[in-house]
């Protein structure tokens, strides 16, 4: 079993929609924002070669560590909030659309990945201690099938690839508070993933993201 940990993505918080009609409170329908934080097409690459039976390191992208830094400002309340109301529930979806295996290993025709854990963190740039985290344990098996081999590596198509992290009222309220106070914000996300084929040892694994969205609900 090959195991590697904390694949880090980019998540730019919970952007809010404005002005969807004159309805209030519980009658406000869930609001979905697609291409969350422009993550569609982002490529995440393992920082070290995969090793058999060990944690092999991280793939990391967060807004505070990117070059140049991509911290983002607070939004205004209530002008940027639908009807002046805050959401008290959120659901974030991200899919791994394809993968690339590169490096000195024999890339298998197929392999399975299990996404054991998935989490998203959001914090004020000036005080990372205020971070709020959404977590899930999807235990999702993703099947990878080889599509082509080129100079940059072997490409794979992934199936059953959507992961979801839900926030309850307390977590959503903290996230909205971070996004409306304290100045610029930063965010990151991580997944713990294992692979079932030891032939991948010695290689690096990259993922392309797509279909990223956040659905906000329970407005009042």
What is the three-class DSSP state of 145? strand
* pLDDT given at position 21: 38
pLDDT at 64 over 80: no
Residue scoring higher pLDDT (68 or 12): 68
pLDDT at 146 over 90: yes
Interatomic CA distance for residues 191 and 135, integer angstroms: 10
* pLDDT given at position 143: 92
Residue scoring higher pLDDT (174 or 210): 174
Domains of the chain by residue range:
2-19+36-219
* pLDDT given at position 51: 59
Backbone angles phi, psi at 198, to 5 degrees: -70, -10
Write out the DSSP string of 152-212: TEEEEEEES-EEEEEE-HHHHHHHHHHHHSSSSEEEEEEEEEEES-GGGTT-EEEEEEEEE
* pLDDT given at position 210: 82
**CB contact burial 61-95 (16+ within 10 A = b; e otherwise):** bbbeeeeeebbbebbeeeeebbbebbbbbbbbbbb
Q: What is the pLDDT of residues 7-63, one digit of tens each?
A: 444 333 333 333 443 345 556 777 777 766 556 766 666 666 665 554 343 445 576
User: CB neighbours of 177 closer than 8 A, spacing ≥ 6?
Assistant: none
* pLDDT given at position 37: 59
Q: What is the pLDDT of residues 150-171, one digit of tens each?
A: 888 999 999 878 889 999 999 9
Strand 31-34 and strand 140-150: pairing? unpaired
pLDDT at 218 over 70: yes
Residue 217 near residue 89, CB atoms below 8 Å: yes
What is the three-class DSSP state of 53? coil
Q: What is the pLDDT of residues 80-120, one digit of tens each?
A: 666 567 888 999 888 888 888 888 888 889 988 888 888 88
pLDDT at 69 over 50: yes
Rg of the chain (C-alpha set): 19
The Cβ of residue 144 has, within 10 Å, a number of other Cβ atoms equal to 27
Q: Which residue has the tokens 């209530």?
A: 78
* pLDDT given at position 168: 92
Interatomic CA distance for residues 170 and 15, integer angstroms: 18
């Amino acid at each position: 079993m090959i195991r590697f940990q904390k694949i880090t993505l980019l998540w730019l918080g919970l952007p809010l929609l404005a002005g969807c009609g004159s309805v209030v409170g519980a009658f406000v329908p869930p609001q979905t924002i697609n291409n969350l934080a422009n993550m569609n097409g982002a490529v995440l690459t393992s920082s070290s070669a995969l090793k058999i039976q060990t944690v092999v390191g991280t793939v990391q992208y967060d807004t505070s560590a990117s070059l140049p830094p991509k911290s983002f400002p607070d939004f205004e309340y209530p002008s940027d909030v639908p009807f002046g109301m805050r959401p008290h529930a959120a659901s974030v979806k991200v899919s791994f659309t394809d993968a690339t295996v590169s490096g000195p290993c024999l890339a298998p025709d197929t392999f399975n990945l299990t996404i054991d854990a998935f989490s998203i963190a959001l914090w004020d740039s000036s005080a990372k201690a205020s971070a709020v985290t959404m977590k899930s344990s999807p235990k999702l098996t993703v099947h990878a099938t080889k599509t082509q081999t080129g100079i940059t590596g072997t490409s794979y198509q992934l199936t059953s690839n959507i992961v979801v992290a839900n926030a309850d009222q307390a977590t959503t309220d903290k996230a909205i508070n971070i996004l409306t106070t304290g100045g610029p914000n930063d965010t990151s996300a991580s997944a713990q993933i294992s692979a079932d084929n030891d032939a991948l040892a010695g290689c690096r694994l990259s993922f392309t993201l797509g279909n990223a969205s956040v659905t906000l609900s329970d407005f009042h």
